[in-house]
């Protein structure tokens, strides 16, 4: 049973259709990417999932139950636009937010101290939020999202404003949470981030989901038989008749003929006297797949 099931959900704001009959499931314990360009409808959909707004039509099931107002206690949501109270002190603020999620003050303080020690930020406890940099505030917002140990975590552009070191700190914590069975949804237009992290994804454009499934299977479906061939010496030999996309001293990009297997291409290259050190298939990036998918829909 999926942790989240979206079924024909739609939402309009006056004459603008933000979410248009979107349907997909989020597998339990998955690292899941909710992708699409800015304005695609991702945030509108998240606001429905977190019960901030209601759908005009369709239904959502959370953990096997029809979505209701008790479920946000089991969801952690970090919005793209940060919602911290700038005048509050960090420790007091995080305990307050934990209480809003149903945590007892004593439990919240104990878990918060342990988490701040793990993040090496215990000195931030008495500081006001406004004294922190954007990146530091991002870490505080992340802690507030996960402190109550939700079943589902939704992160909207989670790495915005973070330097590479703190990005890796947050990534490591996300992986640790996922290892404990917590489902994580990444909402972003940065497709390369989801390509690195997620196993499943759904692509949304103009309020509609246009592609969904396992990342590896989607990339396999869009591959074009392009291979990178590398050599430790000069790339020579008989290249006549090959569908060469690029040719450099130590690297060759070549496309297999329709119906030819990688083994057949490799055998052909060896028979031509080409010294091969490396041979790998080049699959399209998620960004390339998204562009191709959207263009094909626009031209349909």
Query: Mean pLDDT score of the chain, rounded to an integer?
Result: 90
Question: Which structure tokens are listed for 152?
Answer: 């589902």
The pLDDT confidence band at residue 50, using thresholds 50, 70 and 90, is very high
Burial of 18 (0-12, 13-18, 19+ CB in 10 A): buried
Q: Which element (helix H / strand E) includes 95?
A: helix 90-100
C-alpha gyration radius of the chain: 24
pLDDT in tens, 261-272: 899 988 888 888
Name residue, tokens 């878990």: 111
Question: Which structure tokens are listed for 165?
Answer: 């070191």
Name residue, tokens 């954007």: 134
Name residue, tokens 């690195």: 196
Using alpha carbons, list the distances in angstroms from residue 238 to 91, 261, 266, 293: 69, 20, 14, 37
| Per-domain residue ranges of the chain | 4-214, 224-281
Percentage of the chain exceeding pLDDT 70? 97
According to the model, what pLDDT value does residue 203 have?
Answer: 92
- The highest-confidence range among 63-67, 185-189, 205-209, 285-289, by mean pLDDT, is 63-67
According to the model, what pLDDT value does residue 37 have?
Answer: 82
- pLDDT of 166 over the 70 cut: yes
According to the model, what pLDDT value does residue 91 have?
Answer: 93
Partners of 243 in beta bridges: 255
Let me know: does 93 contact 84? Beta carbons within 8 Å. yes
Name residue, tokens 């998918």: 293
According to the model, what pLDDT value does residue 300 have?
Answer: 59
pLDDT in tens, 71-111: 999 999 998 877 788 899 999 999 999 998 889 999 999 99
3-state secondary structure of 37: coil
The pLDDT confidence band at residue 3, using thresholds 50, 70 and 90, is very high
Let me know: does 34 contact 201? Beta carbons within 8 Å. yes
Q: What is the CATH number of domain 4-214?
A: 3.40.50.300
- pLDDT of 144 over the 70 cut: yes
- pLDDT of 10 over the 70 cut: yes
Determine the Cα–Cα distance for residues 6 and 26; give it in Å rounded to an integer. 8
Let me know: does 265 contact 276? Beta carbons within 8 Å. no
3-state secondary structure of 62: strand
């Amino acid at each position: 049973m999926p942790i989240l099931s979206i079924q024909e959900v739609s939402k309009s704001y006056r004459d603008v259709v933000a979410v248009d009959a979107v349907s997909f499931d989020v597998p339990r314990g998955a690292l899941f990417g909710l992708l699409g360009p800015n304005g695609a409808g991702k945030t509108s959909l998240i606001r429905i999932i977190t019960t901030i707004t209601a759908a005009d039509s369709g239904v959502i099931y959370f953990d096997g139950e029809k979505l209701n107002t008790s479920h946000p206690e089991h969801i952690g949501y970090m919005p793209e636009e940060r919602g911290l109270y700038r005048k509050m002190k960090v420790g007091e603020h995080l305990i307050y937010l934990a209480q809003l999620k149903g945590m007892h003050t004593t439990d919240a303080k104990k878990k918060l101290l342990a988490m701040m020690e793990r993040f090496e930020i215990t000195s931030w406890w008495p500081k006001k939020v406004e004294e922190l940099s954007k990146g530091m505030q991002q870490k505080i917002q992340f802690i507030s999202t996960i402190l109550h140990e939700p079943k589902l975590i939704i992160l909207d552009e989670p790495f915005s404003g973070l330097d590479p070191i703190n990005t890796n700190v947050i990534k490591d914590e996300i992986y640790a949470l996922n290892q404990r069975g917590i489902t994580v949804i990444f909402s972003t237009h940065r497709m390369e981030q989801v390509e690195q992290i997620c196993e499943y994804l759904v692509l949304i454009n103009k309020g509609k989901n246009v592609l969904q499934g396992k990342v590896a299977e989607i990339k396999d479906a869009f591959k074009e038989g392009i291979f990178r061939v590398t050599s430790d010496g000069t790339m020579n030999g008989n290249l006549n008749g090959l569908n060469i996309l690029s040719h450099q001293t130590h690297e060759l990009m070549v496309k297999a003929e329709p119906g030819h297997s990688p083994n057949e291409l490799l055998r052909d290259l060896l028979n031509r006297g080409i010294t091969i050190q490396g041979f790998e298939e080049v699959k399209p990036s998620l960004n390339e797949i998204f562009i191709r998918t959207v263009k094909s829909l626009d031209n349909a």
